[in-house]
Amino acid sequence: MGAAEMEISLSKNSEVPLRQQLAEQIVVLITTGELRAGQQLASVRSLARRLKIHHNTVSEAYQDLVSRGWLARQRGSRLVVGPRTASSRIASVGLDELINEAIQRAKEMGFTLQALTERVRERLQEEPADHILIVEDEPGLREVICAEVQRKLGWPVKGCSVDGFATEPDLALGAQVFAPGHIREGLKLLLPANRPAAWITYSAADEHLRLIRGLKNPSAIAAVSVSESLLKTARSLFAPALGRRHTFHEVLLAERKRTDLRGMDLVFCDSIALKAVCARNKIHYHLVSQQSLAELGSTMGRAPRKL
């Protein structure tokens, strides 16, 4: 395969050294897809002749790009575009240096920092989501939802309040928002146009009510959660089945310590409390409906990347 054709334009009147102009223009050709991984570059001398510059200038530019991971040496003296260039650079120079290079290149090309910031934000908004953001005001409830989403889907999960999301719009960058349907109207104006939120529906309590009604004798029943609002909801949902026949206990798991509830006949636990509770008859209470988790998984559209 012959050497790749490169559209290079250098200025000998610029304050930017020719070596740097050449190296950065090759980087642009790679990042825009004009040059692809494995493509062979022109030899040092042939490119020097075409650009009418000293061959040492081309050689220094090539060496710089090899050290930075943009180019790789094949057998012999020819160079090719390096494989997985972006990830190689991240591993070798780190994120801060990548940012510094982007800033420096933007300045050299005449862009303001404001223009760079706006364009970076636009590009990030166009990228597919790489994590899930749970927006929910009550910390305990938010923690339970995060745990269930992480366990079911395997994607990185973060959480914030509605106010936190409103005051930090950049939280939406790279995020697929997952939030309760009742706050839909309040969030719509805060979401990226190209990535609407996925909405949470909660599980019904039919199975739990059936278990309570199936108890033959007066029983002691408990609900354990890290969320105060979840406990309050549980009491209301279970009330018709509890009546005056059974006793009901709400246990707020403020600390993640082992909790002994073996004296209870039936214990309902949220996804976080489940591991901390010791009980004879322990039932896992799934907060988020399986349907909304499936819809969220479909929205993400692919398996999570391995970290």
Q: Is the pTM of this model over 0.85?
A: no
The CATH code of domain 18-111 reads: 1.10.10.10
H or E element: which one contains 268?
strand 266-269
Amino acid 87: pLDDT:
46
Q: What is the mean pLDDT of residues 11-22?
A: 87
Which residue do the tokens 């007066």 mark? 218
Is 5 a residue whose pLDDT tops 80? no
CA dihedral 89, 91, 93, 98 (to 10 degrees): 60
H or E element: which one contains 175?
strand 175-180
CB 39 within 8 A of CB 80: yes
**257-263-269 Cα angle (round to 5):** 50
Is 84 a residue whose pLDDT tops 70? no
Q: What is the largest CA-CA distance in the chain?
A: 96
pLDDT tens-digit map of 28-38? 788 777 788 88
For 293, residues 6+ apart whose C-beta sits below 8 A from its C-beta are 148, 149, 152, 153
For 129, residues 6+ apart whose C-beta sits below 8 A from its C-beta are 174, 175, 176, 195, 300
3-state DSSP assignment of residue 90: helix
CB 278 within 8 A of CB 225: no
Q: What are phi and psi of 274, to 5 degrees?
A: -50, -45
CA distance 279 to 264: 7
Rank 5-14, 113-122, 149-158, 164-173 by mean pLDDT and report only the highest: 149-158
Q: What is the mean pLDDT of residues 288-305?
A: 85
Least Cα distance to 137 among 163, 169, 157 occurs for 163
Is 89 a residue whose pLDDT tops 50? no
CA dihedral 77, 80, 85, 90 (to 10 degrees): 20
Domain ranges for the chain, please list them.
18-111, 126-202+293-300, 206-285
Lowest-confidence pick of 5-19, 70-84, 268-282: 70-84
pLDDT tens-digit map of 106-131? 888 888 889 888 888 778 777 888 99
The CATH code of domain 126-202+293-300 reads: 3.40.50
